[in-house]
Structure formats: C-alpha cells, structure tokens
Structure 1
Amino acid sequence: MFVCRACLRSLVGGSINPVETRLLRPLRKTTDLGSRRRTFATTLGSRNGPQLLNVADLRAALAADPDAAAEEEPQPEETTTSKQDVDTAQRQKNRLEWVVNKHLTWLKDPVDIAAHVRKALDKDSVDEALLMARKASRNTKVEVSWNHLIDYHMKKKRLHAAVKLYQEMKKRQQVPNARTFTIIFRGCAESIHPKLAVSEAVKIYNQMISHGNLKPNTIHLNAVLEVCARANDLDSMLAIFATADEAIRSPDSHTYTIVLNGIRYAALSAHKDTGLIDAEVRRVIDEHIDRARAIWANAIARWRSGKILIDEHLVCAMGRILLLGDYHSSNSILDLLEQTMKIPRFDKTGGQLPAGKADKAEPGRQTGVASDATASQLAPKTEAPDTRQLSPVKRKELAASSPHGLFAKPGPNSLSLLLSALCQTKKTSHAPKYWDYFTQVLGVQPDKDNYGRYLKALTIGHASAQMAKLMSEFPSELLGPVHFRQAFGACIADALNPNSFHNACQIFDAMMAKLRYPDPLCMRLFLHSARDGRAKLLKQAQAKAKKQNNPDSLPPSTEEAERVTDPKTEIEQAQGRHLLAAVDRAWEPFRRLTSSFSYPEEATRSPEEALALQRAEMQEGMATARHMISAVVWVLDHGVLDPVKDRETIKILKSRQTVLIRLIQRYKAKLYPDDQPQQHQQRQEGKGNAERRTVPEDPGDWWKVYA
C-alpha cells in the first residue's frame, strides 16, 4: 500500500503532520536545481517543525533520498500551454476558413479567384491562397490559381513543395495546362539541387509523352534541355533532344543553342577532373567538339531548308566550342562567321577592308581598300531579327519566308568571339580591319568586353600605333588604369618600331586627359618605354654606318663628316633625348599625383587612419620617384646635354633631382618611423635578393639601384 517512500517517512516520522497532497497545492513551476532544493527544504521544515536547514544538511538529505525531491517537485504547465496553443491554432484556422468562405461567396469567376490568390501570395499569405484554391477546386476549374502556387514555391527554391502541389492539383481533378509544365520545368532549371531537378523534370516530361493528354511542345523541350544542361547531365540532355520531332516539338535556334552550351560546359568540366592527364583532357574535348559539329550540321541543314532561323546566340555558342580546340578549330571560326553572317575573310589573300563611313569622313586615311569595293556590297543584305523576342510560330513563319535562310545579325558578342579567335590563332594583325568593319560598316556599338579583347589583341600583336589610336577613342566611363598598363606594355614590346616612343607619348597624353590622377605604374612603364629603344636605335645606327662606309656612295660633305660619330655614342644621345622628354612630360602629372596624397578623398577620423589608406599610393609614388631620379642621373652622366648650351636645362634637372630625393626622404620618415626602409625591403625580398639589390645608405644614391 505504502509504495511512496516520502509518504512512508511522513507516517513513521517523529512529528506526524498532515500531508499536503499535490492536488490541493497550487501548481508551481520549478525551472532550476535551486528551486527544487528550496522546495525540498520547505517540505522538510514543515515535517520536522520550524527549523532552518543549512546547506550541508540539505545536500546530505538529497544524497540520502534523491527521489523525495522529485516526488515533491510540482509538475510544469506543459499540458496547459499546449492546450492553449491548440486552441489558438484552431481559432486562427476557423477565422481563415471564415475569411476564405466570405471571399468565395463573392468570387465566382476563376479569373477573379486567381487574381485574389496572386494578391495573397504577394503578401506571403500562403495558407490563405492554398485554402482558397482547395475550396474553389470543388466546383470550379482554377488551374491558374494552382499555377500561381506552384510558381511561388519554385521562386522560393522549394522544389519538393512545388511537386507536391502539382500532384495535389491532379488529385483534385484540376487538369494541368501547358503553362503549368512550363513553370515546373523553368523552376527546375533554377533549382539549387540540379540532380534532383533533372530527375523530376525528366520524369514529368516522359509522363507527358507517354500518358499525358497534353503533349510537350517546343517550349517544354527547351525548358527540360536547360534543366539537364545546368546540371551538366549530358546523357539526359541528348536523350531529351532525341525526342524532338517535326510536329509539335520542332527544334528551333534556341534548342540548338541550349544543346551546344551544354556540350561546352561538359567539355570545360574535363579540365576540372584531376584524374585525367593532359592527353586525356584533349581527347575528351575533341570528342565534344566532334559531337557539336554533328549537331551544327543538322542545324545548318534545317536553316538552309527554311525550317529554323540562325541568330547570333546560336553562332556564338558554336564558336565558343571551337575556341576550346586546337589551331584549326579556332581558325574555322572565321569560316563560321562568313557562313552565317557573311563577314569577309580579311586574313586571306586579297581580303581588304571595304570603303565605308570612315573613308568618307577621312579621305586621306590609308586603308588599303580596292576602289570598286563598297560597304553595301559586303554587308549582309538580309539579316534575321532577334529571335528571342519572337514566338515559335513567328519564327517558323519568318524562316519559311526565306528559301535560302536569313543571315544572322552581327553584334558585340560576335565581335568578342572573332577577336578571341584572332588572339588564339596569332592573327592579330587583322584585328584592326575587323574592328573597323564591325564598328564603321556594320554599325556595331562596342561594349566593355569588346574593348578589352581588342586591347588584348593589339597587345599580343605589339601594335603600338593602333593602341595609341584606341586609347584616344576609348570611352572614359569604361577606361581604367589597367588598360593604360596594357597599352604601355605594347609600346615596350614594340621595340623595333622607330615610332614606339612617340606612340607611348600619345598614350600618356590620353591617360592625363581621361584619368583624374595618373597611375604610378603607368608612369614607370612610360619611362621604361623611353629607355627601352636601344635595339631599334642600334639598328638605325648600323644602317647609317653601312651607308657611310659604302664605297659606291658619294663622299660625305664637310658638314656631314663633322657629324659622323660613333654608333654607340649616337645611340646614347638618342636614348638620352627620349629620357629627357619622358621626364619633362611626366613631371607635372607626378606633382599632381603627390599633391593628392595630402588631400585624401575619403574622410578619415585620425592621421593614422589617413596614412593607412594612403600607404600603398605613397609606396608607388616613391618607386616612381626613384625611376625618375634614375633617368635624370643617366642623362647627366652620359653627356647628353652640352654644359654650355644646355646650362639652364641641367640646372632644372638637378633641382628636380633634389626635389625627388627630399620627397623620398619625407615619405620614408612617414611610412617607416621606427624601421629603416633598407631592412624592410631586405625582409620582403628575402636573403637571396639581399646581395643583388643592396640599397645604398645615402638617399641621394637611390638611382644606383635601378640604373
């Protein structure tokens, strides 16, 4: 009978007090061990009289009988709280049903119901929209409302919820329409779980073909192909592509574009496979290129028969696959553009730029153009419009209207593809011709990517003259210091061109006109271009000496004989004049750059913060100052200037040298207050370069390091 030990002790104890049951005691919630101990101590005090227990006695009592505290602990209010939650949820559910029923009493048209569902989803009231769709499905066809619900979950990346709604829609006798499947397939394409999306999309697509009353059309075909392409599932994509027919799933240009892009992604994934060697990667890429060529042959056959339209997106999709191949594949891109866009081949013998708007605007400009060639003769006569803005029916009608197919309209994407092919095949000498043809004859407006690729082509081809022209025409909003660095690099690489330094001066003037402050690295490259012309100067001196030593030539006159000097001396004189001109041109821009360090553009709270923001700029300014000192000292030491005639110039150069040395000392004291820059530089360069580049102790001898 007496099972509870607490009750047994209360009956056999020294002082028998009436036991207070838990049913009569008010409910109290104990949340921690301290409250449990206080409850147990209170119970012991009520049983044994009014006495106060200390902590030691309390711990001993708990250790002797731990179940006593558990028996006396009141139960929490979990049951009551959960019951309140259930009541609240039930009241909300009843209220929601009342609201939906009230709306449905006035909304009878499926269009109005769909509009209300859409409005509820815009407010993220998913429960109200779903309840309305379920209640309206009893006696009304509300497929559009279910489409809104499925689309909402697809946009929220809830693939499972959207598929469940699709299954529930069919169970409630709501027949899915074409829009339903389009929403599902496009949502699968944007899913964050591509493998799961492929399985769901392919399963639904196959059910539509075999059992569904609504057969998939071209839009559904393209959507499922895009799902497979995004998941890089090449086998499933080609299997779906094989289901195309001539009836309702006729492939269009968008279909071929998706397939070719999917093949390109699969080819690019071969580079990420670490288990393949280079030969195996090349073999996999070649297999994908051959597969793409077969699909392209099918597309060209349908284009020539007037069944599809070829646009720029399709042509560039095939061209990007060919860029992954070898030289011959990249070279075939020019044939591809000539075949589909009627762009002439300027790399072949006799290929010339047609006379267009540029020749009319600049009569004296030499373009090597035949007199009978005109822009209207070589420009495409019939161009297809942008097929992305047309429906499949309009595309078929437009394709059938031309028996031999409409040429694709070139654009910035085609220009980028062409310039990339020229860079890969090292035919960059023809890049200016194609650039003028696209921009002046075809009227293509270049974008930032076009300018960047054209700049790369000119850099590879060492075309300093074309680079100077491009820098003057480059839009200021798309221009940055990195573009000028590439331009000066082209001038440095074009060392055999006698006019390379002149082209570098034009690029420097364009930099000062288009940038607020000059770039320090660009200024150093400009100085480097002035002193890097020794090869071309030596070639000129050797040619001049050979002409003077020729016995068949006429004897030089008295003045010419006096001007005959040593070729080495003449080279130094010419190089010194270039350095002098470069320092003089860069002096004012450099002063403008150093003045900007005193007035930072960003607001700072302390001088330390301002110094931290300008540390990199000051270091670049110090490096540029050292290069300028090196150029000045080289000019003064090699006797480029006459001590008598050029006295004022020598005085100016020495004063500028002093200003630059003091600038370096001031920046050194500001940037390295506790550490010497010599030690800092040696730590950064390492022990291997410490001997080779020993920094002198005298700040006035900085030029010896870079001379």
Structure 2
Amino acid sequence: MLRCSHAAAFRMQFKSSTALRAPLSSPWVGVPQRLLAIAPRLGTVHSIATDNMGATSRGYSTHPDFAQEVAQDDDASIKPIMVQTRRPFPRKGLDEDPLLRVAMNKAPISAKVVEMELTWLRDKVVMVQRVDRLLKQDNITLAAEIVREATKDKMDTTVAWNRILDYCLMKDNAKAAFKFWNDMKKRGRQPNEWAYTIMLSGLSKSNQAGINPVRTARTIYRSMQAPSSRFRPSTIHTNAMLNVCAKHGDMDTLWEIAGDLPEEGPLSPDDITYTIILNAIRSSIQRDIRVFQLDEVERAYHRRLEGVTEAKRIWTDVLYRWKKGTLELKNEMVSAMAGVLWEGNGDRHLYEVLQLINQTTGIPVLAQEPSPDLPMVSRRSFSRLKSPAEDPTEDVPFVDEQGKPFTGVEQVTHEKLDMAEEKEEKFDNIFDPVVSPDAVPYTDSNNYNSLFSPRYIPIGNRELTVILDTALMMTSATYIGKNYWQHLTRENTGYQIDPDDRSCVRYLRILRVGRSSRVTVEVFKGQIVPEGKAEGKAFHIALSTCRRDRKNPNVLKNANELLKLMDQALVMPDHRAMLGYLDLIQILQDNPQYLVSLNGLEGIQRRSTRNLGAVGRELMVDLHIAALDNLRPLVAKLEEAMSEGARGSSSYSRKRDSELGFSIKQVQPGYQVVTVLTRVRMLIDFIVHPDNERLLSKSARQAFLEESKALRKYSKLDAMEKYKGKLVYPTESQVRAYQERIASLTPPPPLESPSASEDADV
C-alpha cells in the first residue's frame, strides 16, 4: 500500500470509527433498521459488509435506497424482497429524460418489431453490429429492447450491454447507465472486466445532477472485490476509480482506495496511478485556494505547503520503487510532480522543479539556487498568495492610528514564514541524482544509458515546456530561460530539442518579461521563421515585447523587422500583431522624449529646428510616415482579402481548410480587420492634419489623402456590423504566392546516388 500520511490516516480512521459500533467482521454495520428485522431471511449481504468501514461517519451506507440497491445488485437471493420493500422511483422528470425512461423500461415498443429483429440476429457479432447502428441513429429504445430480449433467450449479450452503457455515458447520463447496469445484472448477465472499465471511466467525466459519481463508482469498484465476483480489480480499474475521485475532488475516497494498494506485485501502483494522485493533489490545492478570502494569505501559504509536502511523500515512494527497478518512470508522471511544485510558495519550490528535471532526464541545472537567507516567497510568485510583494523602496501613503503602515490585508511576516518552514517536513535530498553518473541523457534515437538501471526518461518538447514555464514564474526568468533555450535548442549536446510551436511561444513570453526585443527578432530570424513555426500568436507576443521595450532606441527598428518577417512567414497578417504595432506607435507619440534618440527615422529630412515644439511635431510626423511605410504591404493584403468579401464560417468546409496549404489559425475575424484598417486611417489622418501641412509637399499630401479616402469605407458606422461574425480568408493568389515563398525557403530533397537507383531497378 502507499506509504503516505493520508492513506495511513484513513486506515486508522476507519478502524477507530467502526470499532465503537460493531466488529469489523460484522456484515450489518450501517444497514438500515428495517433490513435488520428481516436479516434471518436475507442471509449475508456481503456488499454491505464491504462498505461498513466509515459507513456511519461518511453516510453513504446508511441511506435506505443506497443500501437496498447495493444489496440488490450483489446478492441474488434477496432480489424479490428488495424489490418489494423499495420505494417506487419518482415519476417526476421522466418525461424530460427519455434516456432514463428507456433505462427503466418505461418506453414501450412493439414486441413484433423486436421479434422480427431477433430473427436475423442469432449471431452475437451481428447483433452487436446492429446495436451499434441503432445507437448511432440514437434509437436507444429499440437497441435496449433487442438486448433485453436476446438476454432472455440466453444469447451472449455482454458486448451489446457494454455498448449501451458506453452510449449512456457518452450522453452524460450516468443515471441511465447505472439503471442499465442494474438491469443487466438482474437479467442474469454479469458484467465483464471491460464493463467495469466503461462505467468507472464514464463516471469520471459525468457532470449530471442528481447522482454522486464517486459514490456510484465506489459501489461498482467494491462489488468487484466481493467473494462472489468473477473478476478482481486490476490496475486499470484502480486507476479508473482514482480518476473518478480526482476529477470530482473527493480526496478522502482517493486516499482510501490508494491506501489499500499493495507495495509490490501486479496490483501495485504503476506510473499512471502516481500521475493521477499527483494531479489530484495539485487540483485540490487550486480548489482550496480559490475559496480563500483576500485576507487569508497565511492560510493559502500553509495550504500550498501542505500539498507540496504530500506530493513529496508520494515522490519518495516513486524513487524507492524506481531504484528497485519495480517502476518505470514516465514523462507524464514527472510533469505531474512538476505541476504540484508550481503550486508552491516561491523560487525555492520552482528551483526544485529544475532539480527534478535534472534527476529524471540528466539535463543540468542552469539556475542559481535561491539563498536560504532570503524569504521563501519571491516577488513574482508572491502575487499567487493574493498579496502584493513587499517593496522597501516604495513609500506607504497610509498609516494606522499608531503610525504603522496600513494595508487592507494581513501581512505575511518573516517570522510566520520561518515558523511554517520549521513545521514543514524536510525532504532535503529528495531531488538528488539517482541514475549512475556514467549515464547520459536519453534520446529517442540513441538510448546510451540502456545498460544502467534506473534509466532516464526521454527528452522532448514536454520537458522543454516544463522548464520554460518554470523559468517564467521565477524571479530571474529571462536569465534562466535564455540559458536553457541556448543549451537545449542551439548547442550540440546530443539531446538537442527541435522546439515546437508551444515551446516557441513559452520562450517568447520569457523574452517579453525581460523586454528583450532584439533577442526576439533573432529568434524569429534564426529559428521560428526558417523552421516554419511562425504563427500569428507568436508575432503578437513579439510585438508586445517591443511595446514593453519602448525605451530602447532600436525598438522601432526591431518592430519594423518583425512586420517584414510576418509579411514573409504568414499568408495573412495577424490582426493582434498589427494592433500591437499601432499601440507602440501611439506610445511613442505620447512620449516625445523617446523620439529624440529613436533609431529608424534617419532617412526623413528635418525641415525645422526653431524650437522644441516644432522638433517634436516633426519627429511625430516622421514616426507616422515610417510606420505607414512598413504597414502598407500588410494593409494591401487585408484590403485584397476584404475586397473578395468576408465569408461566414459555415461557408468554408473543414476539408477545404485543410487543402489550402496554410494554418487555419491565420484566418482573421472580419470585425478585427475593420478595427485595424480604421486605426491605420487614423494614423494617416494625423499625417495630413492641417497643423502638419507645412511639413509635407503637395504631392505627398495628396497621396496620403487618397490613401485615407480609400480606407474611409471601413470607418463608417455600419462597417463593424457588416463584418461581425464573418471570417476573412486569403485570396487564391495570396495562397499561391505564400506557397511559392515557402517552397523557396525549403531546401530540395537530396538526389539519389546512381548506385541506389540501380539497386532500386534491380
């Protein structure tokens, strides 16, 4: 069983709570009094006995209907009595749930129709195929009646019943599925192992009101452990049961099930079991933190610490079995443990994620360990405690009556943090290296450490994403992120990773935190665009990086270069990136002091230096002219696509979208394109403003006026309403030009050698 504090606590709790009421061997703990009166006639009800531990304290065996249904399902000898004593099912709501009516056999159908169907369905394979067709047509009434009658005729209908159970759960109707489950057993058809898996897996996804999925799943799972059951729970069923508890947030039942698992053997926890438990711990932390108030910072701190500690206990069990060779480590389990550490209280727990990656993959730790003298809560992660970070350099404008700084929330003092750390269970060496020092990191192509046990897990984009997400939450996000990106994607390490779209987006977000617009351009030019990973979202993040780097004298050059790369890499410019560029121009316009040292305006002739006001006006006009020059190619593409008419989303089939040769994400919403074109016209209107007339030649001013006139139709009141709900697709000529441009960037495949072609001919 799991060596976990919660699992042990629950085992002790059950023994102590039931010992005051009845012996553990008694089968009648928690059984209603009216059943005790007829106990001599009923005999032993084993399924109730399996539910005796904690029945009175937890309350799910004391409910009359529930106890009767459990007894009815598991002991055929008491079926007639249980049916007679059971309250009739309330008819209210049946009309609103036709599937439940069918499950309760209250949807009549012609017996002649069923008899004619069964004439041709004497083979079980043919019958299952017929049931599948009826369920695809949502004719559950006929399908259920066929299976019922076939069961009465002693045919093998186990698979057909499974199809019906799966259908009900796909329709998110766990009530109907459970009714069919009981109906199947009452008709003498016992569920097979796959039926248990279907029910438990389906209940994990159920959101239907009026049914407790965890309680129902626990009943089904415990019925497999009864002596009369033909099947015993396998690891698959245990994982499915744990998944039900995790999805619905019942940690008590989860620890109860996990505590019964053996430490070794075929039924011991596997990597999926640990992954489910770790994910459940993380979800429980998030769920508890959401209900805390703004002034409950200390409670949130302790709740995070408690969850991380429990996950470390689980990881101790994982390491114990990993070292013994009885458990194979998987990437999903490592990511789940990292997710729990993300819920921690600061850079210390985030640094442990990097140690975890080093322990399981061999990737070196490229970050400095947080100093133990500093508070555990860092500035970037302090906001996750629902309290602002303390800044000694910031003036406090309000004080209380004693003259002490006043805030609206409770302060997390260093003394409280130190007391919490003293109470925390120590796991100082839990993330120390385990694999032999002679082993090298694992790759899909070369498993160099195959002779060593335990072995490293494979390294790929999942691990790169985990590292980048961790770096993004740390105080030195940019420094750590750049180090890992260079090491894992650029250096020849033997386990070099080809970053995917998600990894690129993560790295761009790190660069945005550090206001690294120049590095962002280099990443686009060196990796993202040449490798065909450019998408509108990436350019949107890149332009927002430029907006944060507004004080950089080269920010305009960097932004203009990104626009050119977007024109080259995308068939349609992204509206978010263009709006971000226009926001940058607006910010520079509102702060003329940035324009004095701004690079990218050198090619425009200065006409006046009489005073600072005149210089500022000239610089702003020059800025708008430079921005318009870089926006023209993108605006032309949008206008060309808009001229053919924005199409509704229903007029373009998914099949045609896949045949266009570009990502469907590049299709732009019509109303957003209208917004972009309207703002471009506002930019032109600033250039041709009467106050700037002396700064432009007549021919240049006339050209700008014509451009503004051409865009005037998108500024009308009805333009936004006209294109609302429509999508703007590129024209065929734009798609062809894009495909030719991409083909020119892709190197041709190598030619076959003469010897190879001769061998092929032979």
What is the TM-score of this pair, normalised by structure 2?
A: 0.56
Cα 1:535–1:293, aligned 2, differ >3 Å: closer, same or farther? farther
Give how far 1:533 is off: 10
Could you tell me which runs of 5 or more consecutive residues in structure 2 were left unpaired when the two chains were aligned. Answer: 1-106, 370-436, 600-609, 648-668, 719-762
What secondary structure sits across from 2:561 in the alignment? helix
Contact kept in structure 2, 1:419 and 1:453, CA below 8 Å: yes
Q: Paired residue for 2:249?
A: 232
Cα 1:325–1:151, aligned 2, differ >3 Å: closer, same or farther? same
Q: 2:462 aligns with which of 391, 413, 435?
A: 413
Cα 1:528–1:99, aligned 2, differ >3 Å: closer, same or farther? closer
Distance 2:687 2:359 in 1: 54
Cα 1:284–1:600, aligned 2, differ >3 Å: closer, same or farther? same
Give how far 1:294 is off: 1.4
Q: Are 1:221 and 2:238 an aligned pair?
A: yes
Equivalences for residues 621-660 of structure 1 within 5 A: 621-625=680-684, 655-656=699-700, 659-660=703-704
Deviations 1:302-325 (A, max 9, x none): 222212222221111111221222
Q: 1:186 aligns with which of 194, 201, 210?
A: 201
Distance 2:126 2:215 in 1: 35
Q: 1:269 aligns with which of 279, 283, 287?
A: 287
Q: Are 1:202 and 2:227 an aligned pair?
A: no
Q: Are 1:435 and 2:509 an aligned pair?
A: no
Give how far 1:424 is off: 1.0
Identity %: 22
Distance 1:205 1:379 in 2: 42
Structure 1 runs (4+) deviating above 6 angstroms are 528-533, 535-540, 572-579, 610-614, 665-670
Deviations 1:230-289 (A, max 9, x none): 111121122211121133421111111111111211111234326574412333222222
Cα 1:99–1:577, aligned 2, differ >3 Å: closer, same or farther? closer
Equivalences for residues 104-115 of structure 1 within 5 A: 104=122, 107=123, 110=124, 113-115=127-129
- Counterpart of 2:499, as a letter, is P
Q: 1:100 aligns with which of 105, 118, 121?
A: 118
Contact kept in structure 2, 1:527 and 1:579, CA below 8 Å: no
- Counterpart of 1:459, as a letter, is R
Cα 1:312–1:619, aligned 2, differ >3 Å: closer, same or farther? same
Contact kept in structure 1, 2:646 and 2:670, CA below 8 Å: no
Cα 1:115–1:483, aligned 2, differ >3 Å: closer, same or farther? closer
Q: Paired residue for 1:55?
A: none
Equivalences for residues 337-486 of structure 1 within 5 A: 337-348=357-368, 380-382=440-442, 404-426=453-475, 427-440=477-490, 441=493, 442-472=495-525, 473-475=527-529, 479=534, 483-486=538-541
Q: Paired residue for 2:562?
A: 507
Contact kept in structure 2, 1:485 and 1:525, CA below 8 Å: no
Contact kept in structure 2, 1:338 and 1:345, CA below 8 Å: yes
- Counterpart of 2:197, as a letter, is T
Give how far 1:334 is off: 0.8
- Counterpart of 2:341, as a letter, is L
- Counterpart of 2:361, as a letter, is M
Equivalences for residues 681-692 of structure 1 within 5 A: none
Deviations 1:600-659 (A, max 9, x none): 245389xxxx998975234311333356679x96xx99xxxxxxxxxxxx766x754564
Distance 1:135 1:241 in 2: 39
Give how far 1:573 is off: 9.9
Contact kept in structure 2, 1:292 and 1:318, CA below 8 Å: yes
Q: Are 1:521 and 2:579 an aligned pair?
A: yes
Cα 1:629–1:421, aligned 2, differ >3 Å: closer, same or farther? farther
Distance 1:518 1:383 in 2: 36
Q: 2:168 aligns with which of 119, 135, 153?
A: 153
What secondary structure sits across from 2:365 in the alignment? coil
- Structure showing greater Rg: 1
Contact kept in structure 2, 1:253 and 1:310, CA below 8 Å: yes
- Counterpart of 1:589, as a letter, is L
Deviations 1:507-564 (A, max 9, x none): 2321332344585434435646978796798899xxxxxxxxxxxxxxxxxxxxxxxx
Q: Which has the higher contact order (CA 8 A, sep 6+)?
A: 2
Distance 2:566 2:336 in 1: 36
Equivalences for residues 5-84 of structure 1 within 5 A: none
Distance 1:657 1:378 in 2: 72
* CA RMSD after TM alignment: 4.7
Cα 1:263–1:504, aligned 2, differ >3 Å: closer, same or farther? same
Contact kept in structure 2, 1:216 and 1:248, CA below 8 Å: no
Q: Are 1:169 and 2:184 an aligned pair?
A: yes
Distance 2:109 2:159 in 1: 30
Distance 2:551 2:676 in 1: 33
Deviations 1:183-208 (A, max 9, x none): 11111112223862111101121222
Cα 1:168–1:584, aligned 2, differ >3 Å: closer, same or farther? closer
Contact kept in structure 2, 1:137 and 1:174, CA below 8 Å: no
Give how far 1:588 is off: 5.8
Q: Return 180-189 or 93-102, whichever deviates more.
A: 93-102
What secondary structure sits across from 1:600 in the alignment? helix
Distance 2:616 2:116 in 1: 95
Give how far 1:162 is off: 2.3
Q: Return 274-283 or 193-202, whichever deviates more.
A: 274-283
Distance 1:318 1:286 in 2: 14
Contact kept in structure 1, 2:282 and 2:307, CA below 8 Å: yes
Cα 1:480–1:147, aligned 2, differ >3 Å: closer, same or farther? closer
Distance 2:646 2:176 in 1: 51
Cα 1:588–1:335, aligned 2, differ >3 Å: closer, same or farther? closer
Cα 1:466–1:99, aligned 2, differ >3 Å: closer, same or farther? same
Distance 1:118 1:434 in 2: 51
